[in-house]
Structure 1
Amino acid sequence: MSVAQFIQDAWNKQAKWLIVLRPLSWLYRGGFLLNKNLYKTGLKQSYTAPVPVMVIGNITVGGSGKTPLLIHLVKYLQNHKIRLGVISRGYGGKGPFPAYVGLDAEAHVVGDEPMLIVQSTGVPMAVGSNRQKSIELLLSKHALDLIICDDGLQHWALERQLEWIVLDNNRGLGNEKILPEGYLREPKCRLKNSTVIEHATAPQLPLNMHLEASEPYLLNGQLNQPFNLEACFYAVSGIGFPQRFYQTLEKMGLQQFQGHEFPDHHEYELDDLQFEDSNPIITTEKDAVKILPLLKKNPHFKREIWVVPVDAVLSQACYETLKLQLEQLGIKFNQGSFE
């Protein structure tokens, strides 16, 4: 087990020994607040894009359901004829940056989540640590009404007009401590200044979402082959919160599976998919975008790999809030429906 996985497990269990990391949390918080204040006072300059920017992010480390939400919103806005582009850090990608993410891009170059977003929506997208350069790259190719920034909530170098924060009630705020004692990137008071979307199956807030799994599809082999719930699977994932994936499998009625977890944004090798028997693998769409190139390079690999697609389901209040917020920015909704 890597150090990162060890600490992730400790966060999830709220282990008492994490208190020894408190001095490091004080340093992290101090550095974070100093950087934020440098931008607020103008000692560091923020970039203001020529079109409105909406940031979708979270204040916790690990998966929150942010990417399925972003994909859903992109499809919704596309259906309403709003011209939009997406930018992202491109975490896990090797660049060079900024990079335009076309359908022919590769996950190891631009990152797994950008590949999933573009393959799911076809939206114009650019990635790189310098968000200004990514926006300029997008605007050099497309006329846009809105730019959505995937993550980047703590990236103060970019001005934004809207912020949506996904709060996963499955994990909550843990011990409510800042990194590395806890998994908060910012203090919880940050939630007061943004639009909070509660990710929960039994939500308490009117602005809420949950994820629903669709029928698994086969990444290799006979595409019309039926999915067998009675089979024994290896559940392979390299995501921020693998427990949610396991919960999804259980809700589907899949009871026989053995979890194999890798770090978030893991770069797969063929050996990661090798097991002693021939039982099938089941994985996430985020992992599938990196596994598929491996399969193409190794056509002799015959083990079935099933992929579970998930869709974000939003409350009506989310759509109403989004429409109001965008209209206040001068972005009008055209004919279309999606809810």
Structure 2
Amino acid sequence: MSVAQFIQDAWNKQAKWLIVFRPLSLLYRSISLLNHKLYQAGVKSSYTAPIPVMVIGNITVGGSGKTPLLIHLVAYLESIGVRVGVISRGYGGKGPFPAYVDINSEPNDVGDEPCLIVQSTGVPMVVGANRQKNIELLLAKHNLDLIISDDGLQHYALNRQLEWIVLDNNRGLGNEKILPEGYLREPKSRLNTATVIEHAAQPKSDLNMHLEVSIPYLLNMDKDVFFDPMLDYYAVVGIGYPQRFYKTLQSLGVNQFQCHEFPDHHDYEIQDLQFEDANPIITTEKDAVKLLPLLKKYPDFKREIWVVPVEAVLSQPCYTLLNNQLKKLGIQIH
């Protein structure tokens, strides 16, 4: 188990020994607060794009369901006539940046989540650490009404008109401590400053979403095979919160699986997929984006790899609120 995985496990269990990190948490919070104050005072300059920007992010480290939400929102916005583009940090990508993402982009170059977003939606997208350059490249290629920033909630160098924070109630806020004592990037009071979308199967808020699971599909073999939940699987995942994926498997009736966890945005090697028997692998769509180039490199790899697709389902008040927010920004919907 890597150090990152060890700490992630401690966060999830709210281990009491994490208190040893409190001095670092106080330092992290102080630096973050000072940085924010410097932007508010104009000491550090912020960039304002020529069109509205919507940030979709979270205040926790690890998965929250943000990417499925973004993919769904892109499809919805396009369905009501809003021309939308997406920017992202491109975490895990090697660049060079800013990089335009298209259907043929490689995860090693632009990151796994951007590849998944573009492959799922075809949305115009640019990635790189400099959000201003990302937006300028995006607008040089496309006439848009709205830009969605994938994450970047704490990136105050970019001004934004809308903020949606995804709060996963399966995980909650843990011990409610700031990094590294807990997994919060910002204190929970940050939730009071933005639109909060509750990710839960049994939500308490009117603004909520859940992930709807579809039947897994075979990633690497062109044959007519039906998914069998009764088999023994290797659950291979490199995501921020793998426990959600395990619950998803159980909801599909898959109860016999061995967990093989890797760090978020893991750069897979073929050895990661090698096991002593011939049992199939099951994984997420995000991981599949990174596994597919690997399979092309090793065409003789014959083990079945099943991918579990999920889709964000939003409550009706989410759409009503979004439409009102867009109208206030002067964005016409049809």
What is the TM-score with the length of structure 1 in the denominator? 0.98
Q: CA deviation at 1:223?
A: 4.3
* Conservation of the 8 A alpha-carbon contact between 1:112 and 1:289: yes
Secondary structure, counterpart of 2:119 in structure 1: helix
C-alpha separation in 1, matches of 2:223 and 2:247:
25
Secondary structure, counterpart of 2:197 in structure 1: strand
Which residue does 1:127 correspond to in 2? 127
* Conservation of the 8 A alpha-carbon contact between 1:57 and 1:166: yes
Equivalent runs, 1:293-308 vs 2, <5 Å: 293-308=293-308
Deviations 1:247-304 (A, max 9, x none): 0000011111111000000000000000000000000000000100011111100000
Q: CA RMSD in A?
A: 0.6
| Moved beyond 6 Å, runs of 4+ | none
2:99 counterpart letter in structure 1: A
C-alpha separation in 2, matches of 1:254 and 1:279:
13
% of aligned pairs identical?
75
Secondary structure, counterpart of 1:104 in structure 2: coil
Which residue does 1:53 correspond to in 2? 53
Secondary structure, counterpart of 2:54 in structure 1: strand
Which residue does 2:166 correspond to in 1? 166
* Conservation of the 8 A alpha-carbon contact between 1:295 and 1:301: yes
C-alpha separation in 2, matches of 1:53 and 1:221:
41
Q: CA deviation at 1:230?
A: 1.2
Which residue does 2:316 correspond to in 1? 316
Secondary structure, counterpart of 1:312 in structure 2: strand
Deviations 1:81-137 (A, max 9, x none): 211100000000000000000111100000000000000000000000000000000
* Conservation of the 8 A alpha-carbon contact between 1:217 and 1:223: no
1:16 and 2:45 equivalent? no
C-alpha separation in 2, matches of 1:154 and 1:223:
46
From the superposition, tell whether residues 78 and 223 of structure 1 become closer, same or farther in structure 2 (CA, over 3 Å).
farther
- Report how many aligned residue pairs link the two structures: 334
Which residue does 1:26 correspond to in 2? 26
Which residue does 2:3 correspond to in 1? 3
Which residue does 1:244 correspond to in 2? 244
Q: Where in structure 1 are there 5+ consecutive unaligned residues?
A: 335-339
C-alpha separation in 1, matches of 2:43 and 2:222:
59
1:262 counterpart letter in structure 2: F
* Conservation of the 8 A alpha-carbon contact between 1:99 and 1:127: yes
Q: CA deviation at 1:319?
A: 0.5
1:95 and 2:108 equivalent? no
Secondary structure, counterpart of 1:289 in structure 2: helix
Secondary structure, counterpart of 2:60 in structure 1: coil
2:189 counterpart letter in structure 1: C
C-alpha separation in 2, matches of 1:284 and 1:24:
33
From the superposition, tell whether residues 157 and 143 of structure 1 become closer, same or farther in structure 2 (CA, over 3 Å).
same
Q: CA deviation at 1:147?
A: 0.1
Equivalent runs, 1:252-263 vs 2, <5 Å: 252-263=252-263
Which residue does 1:235 correspond to in 2? 235
* Conservation of the 8 A alpha-carbon contact between 1:103 and 1:119: yes
1:73 counterpart letter in structure 2: L
C-alpha separation in 2, matches of 1:231 and 1:294:
24
Deviations 1:313-338 (A, max 9, x none): 1000000000000011011111xxxx
Secondary structure, counterpart of 2:231 in structure 1: coil
C-alpha separation in 2, matches of 1:309 and 1:327:
32
C-alpha separation in 1, matches of 2:79 and 2:128:
27
2:98 counterpart letter in structure 1: P
Q: Where in structure 2 are there 5+ consecutive unaligned residues?
A: none
Secondary structure, counterpart of 1:62 in structure 2: coil
2:47 counterpart letter in structure 1: Y
C-alpha separation in 2, matches of 1:256 and 1:5:
23
C-alpha separation in 2, matches of 1:223 and 1:99:
35
2:333 counterpart letter in structure 1: F
Q: CA deviation at 1:222?
A: 2.8
